[in-house]
Structure 1
């Protein structure tokens, strides 16, 4: 249900929030977010949606990337994510750590450089 709400609010056609609302909320444009979701799924299987032991779908890639970006952008505490996105504190921390590692792996060559004098 949290995934459906997220998709209806921000990503589906005729979503509740506009492109400008999205940019204000996530600090990036929607197409950049979508490219980021696509890229992290390609590199790290953690960001692909899987079935849990009961056969129910786990967290979606959109949910995981949203959690990571919101925690970084707003310094949201992990327990606040449980109320909004139904993700436990430990899963939020795991997601954030996986996101950091994946972003460094993906974009290190293009955006990171050695410090100069």
Structure 2
């Protein structure tokens, strides 16, 4: 196990281990970490489908799910491009969404509390949008160049 070292600024190298001189630096073996990640999660031979054939790699599954979300593509369009049936695409998208919710729900997917609400109101007011909470469409905002079709 590597021990943390404190970097001492020098003329040749004013700082190390980050952008703040004197911060702790812990050497990392990035190449080994990457190899482990790829082997553990992205190894195409690691999983087989029910018929015993190699399954879709995580790269393929994530790509399909992200394309469906980013471009609004229907699941049945993935068969032509990625060779993945609609049901597999939908299962993959559901698994990705469930994973994202599970990982980030405590920090980002929670009910607003009063402190959050106050911070958002102040931020909106600082940017010239008073009373923005509850009116996300900005219909109360005067827009001098508003297209006539929207007036």
Identify the TM-score tier after normalising by the shorter chain: 0.5 to 0.7
Q: Is 1:94 the equivalent of 2:88?
A: no
Mapping 1:1-117, distance limit 5 Å: 49-116=46-113
CA distance change for structure 1 residues 89 and 55 in 2, over 3 Å: closer, same or farther?
same
Greater relative contact order structure (CA < 8 Å, 6+ sep): 1
With normalisation by structure 1, the TM-score equals 0.54
Query: What 5-or-longer segments of structure 2 have no aligned partner?
Result: 1-36, 118-151
- Give the distance between the partners of 2:61 and 2:80, measured in 1 at CA: 15
Per the TM alignment, residue 87 of structure 1 is displaced from its structure 2 partner at its CA by 0.4
Structure 1 or 2: more helix by fraction: 1
CA shift digits 1:17-60 (9 cap, x unpaired): xxxxxxxxxxxxxxxxxxxxx6xx87xxxxx9511244321000
With normalisation by structure 2, the TM-score equals 0.42
Structure 1 stretches of at least 4 aligned residues deviating more than 2 Å after TM superposition:
52-56, 109-113
Bigger radius of gyration: 2
| RMSD after superposition | 2.6
